[in-house]
Amino acid sequence: MSNNGGWKRNGKDLGKPDGRHHPRALLYLPVEYGGSGPKTLRLGHTTNLSSSGVMLTLRERLRIGQRINLSIFVSLGKDVEAIKVNSQVVWVGTDKDGSFRSGVKFIDLSVNDRKKLEEFFEKD
């Protein structure tokens, strides 16, 4: 899964004061998501990412309050790792191109996956 051959990092704007508790990095990363049942996993990508949540661009509208199992794929050294996190949708919107954006907060992030997220932000 890639965007024109790789992940697109639009730049880290981690110092910008925008009223958030956790700064966001503008990132285009592939994701897989689904509910807790045996439904098929669906694909999308991140628009921005922080240590507490993510904005997703998806082909479907999620519901506010909906819980999803999310895998965010990040490059760590030579490997691609999946950061897996149980999440909850906190807002939804529609883009001009007909895709949907969803603001998602992390509910349950394991110690191991939190370390992967921290390592990803520390590189560069």
Q: State the CATH class of domain 8-122.
A: mainly beta
Nearest to 45 by CA among 79, 3, 106, 78: 3
Residue with tokens 């370390």: 115
For residue 91, how many other CB atoms are within 10 A of its CB? 12
Q: Are 109 and 117 in contact (CB under 8 A)?
A: yes
Which stretch of DSSP H or E encloses residue 113?
A: helix 111-122
Give pLDDT, residue 91.
96
For residue 31, how many other CB atoms are within 10 A of its CB? 24
Query: Which tops the pLDDT comparison, 107 or 95?
Result: 107
Nearest to 46 by CA among 96, 97, 94, 3: 3
pLDDT in tens, 68-98: 999 999 998 899 999 999 999 999 999 889 8
Model-wide pTM > 0.75:
yes
